[in-house]
Structure 1
């Protein structure tokens, strides 16, 4: 498979964006490039990444998000692969608007599987398209900032950037 690759600067470090066929197949912080490559290889086998500036306009939308246009990533087409359950989790996570959070248990309940909060957490942790599938908006049962592949400090920054409210927002102010 051939994909286009762009490096997009952000306040949290560069991001690597892999796109093809009009969809984002991977988005990961550059310091986690091996994770991106492993995810793509697991889904497609051999992947050729060709450098491209702003494939499909996606890089521009990421830059708009960093400038404060929190809706810029909404509706971006993604192709994350994954199991049927993972895809359901990721689709539900995409419904969480900027500035809001949901607990793993809340996401599980929304999926009609209230006892599946751990499975939701595992699926969330395997998200290959960070930010667009906003896994940073999923928090612990009491609003605590838990588990983010890019690191808790990045999660805290992203939630503050989006104006997170509720318990998660309050915890941002305490740390």
Structure 2
């Protein structure tokens, strides 16, 4: 249960102002069809984060030494620094739904934009930390949905509710805390 809750909290906070949340806002503004957009985000996130959590879990099983535990701790600290950097929407977003429709366009765009994103890398680190692919993927997906459903329904107004610099600072502090926690465990 800890892996679910920590994963959901970390990703929900890290996702605010992230490029994938900006993509959700752009898609919502462009297509004005929230249900297929939300379903596309859900499917893309489940697939992407399940693979990321699996990769983290497998890699951590191969490298179970103290140095690997330190690498996980350092990766969380690096994520803390990365969380402080504002994201911008990519310029190469789809121009229209075309023949694929809103759902498939959203699914493909979200899956691709999430590759190498800080929430995906956080999912890899969480998978390595907790060794629980199912609950980590479920938690990170829940966090993505908690952050993106309001973005889809509220569009650009969602980014004005809470100043993003404070959200980024909060996310950085959570990642830093996880890094310290992992570092303490690496010392044992």
**TM-score, normalised relative to structure 2:** 0.28
Higher helix share: 2
Which of 1 and 2 has higher RCO (CA within 8 Å, sep 6+)? Answer: 2
**TM-score, normalised relative to structure 1:** 0.30
Higher strand share: 1
